[in-house]
Chain A
Amino acid sequence: MSGNSPNRRRSAAALAVTASIALFASACTGQSTSEAKDDASKETTITFWHGWSAPEEVKAIQANVDAFQKAHPNIHVKVVGNINDDKINQALRAGGSNAPDVVSSFTTNNVGKFCSSKAFVDLAPFLKKDGIDPAKTFPKAMNEYTQFDGRRCTLPLLGDAYALYYNKDAFKEAGITAPPKTWGEFAADAKKLTKAKGDSYEQLGFMPTYHGYESTTEHYIAQWSPTYFDSSGKSNIAKDPAFAKGLAFQKQLVEDLGGFQKLEKFRSGFGDEFGAKHPFHLGQVAMQLDGEWRLGMAEDTKPKFEIGVAPLPVPDDQAATYGKGYITGTIAGIAATSSKQNAAWELVKYMTTNTEAVVNFANAIHNVPSTLDALKSPNLKYDPRFKTFLDIAQNPASTTSPASVNGGQYLVSIQNLGYDVEKGKQGDIKAGLEKTAKEIDTTIDQAK
């Protein structure tokens, strides 16, 4: 081949440059905002984005919207489903005629960004205008995770509560008469329920590793009632003993149940978290930390054992607080780019505060109702075991992870520390927490 290096060099260089830059050719438009000047009593059409995609869920949210339109015949709602936060972020930045007016998101992690960036409008004036007091309307934890830094830009649209699922047959076989109420009892039960098979397990009492689906650091540590940030907004994880205690407990549990390597190898054979072959459904694990959705999902697979539900255990020195848990949920807000904010508010208000709407929606998709009135409603239909989740949602000691300016990145930092602790890479938990606290503060500072 003849030498034409300069040309080839230029071509290759151009290719390299394009390849790299193409990675980050993002849309870079500023946010446009508008005031709520529309007349909600006039004929109008608003767009509502949500994330539900399963047929039953889509049917349920459509029924919810239909009921709203019946009550507000002048407001027509265009519903767009199966939307995730990436699409929401793009739409909130770009605006335009196809952008949503009302947005719901499954995760509470981005509330801090939605509020601080003013991508969602402040709902306080709307709430005030309609005489709605969030503190008296929503459970405490849900009230917390829908606002950031004094700015309320979202409202809860049903919630999730986390509890302990247990295999009643396995409990009976192991001679355990009641679900554990403290972590001490829990660790003892987990060991009793564990049956070895060769160098693996026939049945594991509990999968303690942080990759064990919902066994994340924030779900464990919630039982120690942690305070993530101090009054100045700095990370509090190195000062609040809840974090060190939670991490140390989990690490000990990992060791007691066989060690990280053995557990991780067993876990790698588990089925999908949201599939029929979930290890709890198959009896591979006898206890599972999970949200309220697991009950219906597990019963749908017709397991060969009876399922029990109980609140998650609490630290031995906090036995009196048994019954609390971790709360999170779906949120709804109004896009700042919307030119129909008053009409949009009518939909948000209806879906999040109308007791009948909340109860009907909760009945349809088996989530936890997100208002105090709905939680006590006689129209709420549920399996008796579901009451555990309703109680956790109403328990004032239940906690959540607060909103942060850069999404849930501080939770990711803590989770990463957890991974290092459980595998023994980070032996000194206190030093690890101090380093992670610094990392969280730096990351938040970078995001401001």
Chain B
Amino acid sequence: MTTYTLRAKRRRAALRTAAFMSPWLIGFGVFFAYPLISTVYFSFTHYDGFADPTFNGFKNWSYVFNDYPLFWPALRNTLWLVVVMVVCRVAFGLGIGLLITKIKTGTGVFRTLFYLPYLAPPVAATLAFVFLLNPGTGPVNSVLSDLGIPAPDWFTDPSWSKPALTMLAVWGVGDLMVIFMAALLDVPKEQYEAAELDGASSWQRFRFVTLPNISPIVMFAVVTGIIQTMQYYTQPLVAGKVASGIIGSSGQPFEPGYPDKSTLTLPQLVYNLGFQRFDYGSACVVALVLFALSMAFTALLMRRRGGLIQAGD
């Protein structure tokens, strides 16, 4: 075969590969590369959505980090939720998955019961929680009071609002439960039998048999949980607004984060800056911070060695 023929063949192969990849390449360009480049560009401009953007250097970055009073509380809240909420959701999802795979009767009923809350629309679920946890009239506090247990003020107390949101997230843990159940049922029974013959305790079987087998699924749950929490918007916004009692007329600016900025999250700032303050440049800065954080968390977790969770080989 001549060199010329080989080259032509390679070129055809490359073109064929490119043709097969073109849908992805187009999608990547339109939905990923272009928005990313635009976001970086707008973060260095003054842009109100009406007039053309004008370059303003690092002014937006300086404003967000130094002068925008909501940024640091929102960042702290987002990190708090990433650490606590994600861990709680994974732990509860795994725990319920373990329980349900162990029980002998009524498995279908329990699976349904634990999965159903996940199907509740976020706004409806949040409204229900704000009602149930109402410090003045909510049934939860009535029961706690009857039992002589000090009742928290939940969504009206800055120190309890995020735990209340975490409870809401844990209540809707059905998605993780299903994923963990599938992973747990996939663990080879022979390994448990061998461990039992070796005299391993329940904890040792979980630690040295179950966990290594399902660790890629745990990793998946943690990574997707972090990304979801980075985007956490609806529930804290609805909870804050309803608990605050301020439901302004449509389009009226409001300050999310009631009580005392404790339910403020970074995605809310993107909306606040971009669509209420007409400051797209600063909104892009917050979006890029979210991007950097997502990347950092993902990179940390995906490290083969030294990460928080080891990927299974």
Interface residues of A (CB under 8 A from B): 1-3, 5, 8-9, 12-26, 28, 30-31, 51, 84-86, 88-89, 92-93, 105-107, 109-110, 113, 117-119, 200, 211-213, 261, 264-270, 272-274, 406-409, 411-413, 415-416, 419, 423, 425, 439, 442-443, 446-447
Contacts and interface: CB of A to CB of B under 8 A. Distances in A.
Contacts of A412: 253-255
Interface in B29-48: 31-32, 35-36, 38-39, 42, 47-48
Contacts of A51: 249-251
A1 B312 CA distance: 6
A17 B32 contact: yes
| Pairs A-B, 7 closest by C-beta atoms | A85-B251, A269-B136, A84-B250, A117-B50, A16-B294, A20-B291, A24-B287
Contacts of B35: 21-22, 24-25
B270 interface: yes
A130 B243 CA distance: 49
Nearest to B255: A412
A196 to B, nearest CB: 15
Nearest to A94: B49
Contacts of A5: 302, 304, 311
Contacts of B287: 20-21, 23-24
Contacts of A93: 49-50
A291 to B, nearest CB: 10
Interface string B44-69: 00011111110000011001000111
Given A21-B35, A119-B50, A26 B280 contact: yes
B157 to A, nearest CB: 9
B227 interface: yes
Given A117-B51, A211-B245, A447 B277 contact: yes
Given A19-B227, A28-B38, A268-B134, A274 B247 contact: yes
A21 B39 contact: yes
Nearest to A270: B245
Contacts of B295: 13, 16-17
Contacts of B274: 24, 26
Given A21-B32, A23-B287, A30 B51 contact: yes
B135 A268 contact: yes
B275 interface: yes
12 contacts: A5-B311, A16-B294, A16-B298, A23-B231, A23-B270, A211-B258, A265-B156, A269-B136, A406-B279, A408-B252, A442-B67, A446-B67
A5 B216 CA distance: 10
A8 B156 contact: no
A446 B255 contact: no
Contacts of B91: none
B252 A200 contact: no
Contact of A211 (B244, B250, B275, B311): B244
Contacts of A211: 244-246, 258
Given A17-B294, A105-B251, 6 more contacts: A3-B304, A5-B311, A17-B295, A85-B251, A268-B136, A443-B68
A224 to B, nearest CB: 22
A416 B270 CA distance: 19
A88 B51 contact: no
Contacts of B170: none
Contacts of A423: 260
Given A24-B283, A93-B49, A407 B67 contact: no
Interface string B246-276: 1111111111001010000001001000111
B156 to A, nearest CB: 5
Please tell me the size bucket of the interface on B: 35 or more
A244 B60 CA distance: 31
Contacts of A110: 251
Contacts of A113: 48, 50, 278
B230 A30 contact: no
A413 B244 CA distance: 16
A447 B252 contact: no
A28 B277 contact: no
Contacts of A265: 135-136, 153, 156
B282 interface: yes
B255 A19 contact: no
Residue from B51, B156, B267, B294 whose CB has the most chain A CB atoms within 10 Å: B294
B36 A21 contact: yes
A23 B267 contact: yes
A209 to B, nearest CB: 9
Contacts of B105: none
B313 interface: yes
A17 B36 contact: yes
A297 B31 CA distance: 48
A1 B59 contact: no
Contacts of A30: 51-52
B100 interface: no
Contacts of B49: 26, 28, 89, 93, 117
B156 A268 contact: yes
B135 A407 contact: no
A107 B52 CA distance: 25
B232 to A, nearest CB: 11
Residue from A25, A88, A270, A411 whose CB has the most chain B CB atoms within 10 Å: A25
B223 interface: yes
Contacts of B68: 443
A411 B302 CA distance: 45
Nearest to B136: A269
A20 B276 CA distance: 20
B313 A3 contact: yes
B310 to A, nearest CB: 10
A273 B297 CA distance: 42
B125 interface: no
A257 to B, nearest CB: 16
Contact of A31 (B38, B51, B67, B255): B51
Nearest to B304: A5
Contacts of B52: 30
B291 to A, nearest CB: 4
B169 interface: no
A269 B137 contact: yes
A106 B245 contact: no
A211 B248 CA distance: 11
A406 B277 contact: yes
B32 A419 contact: no
Nearest to A33: B50
A28 B299 CA distance: 31
Given A19-B230, A439-B69, A84 B290 contact: no
A105 to B, nearest CB: 6
A409 B31 CA distance: 32
Contacts of B50: 31, 92-93, 113, 117-119
Contacts of A274: 247
B221 interface: no
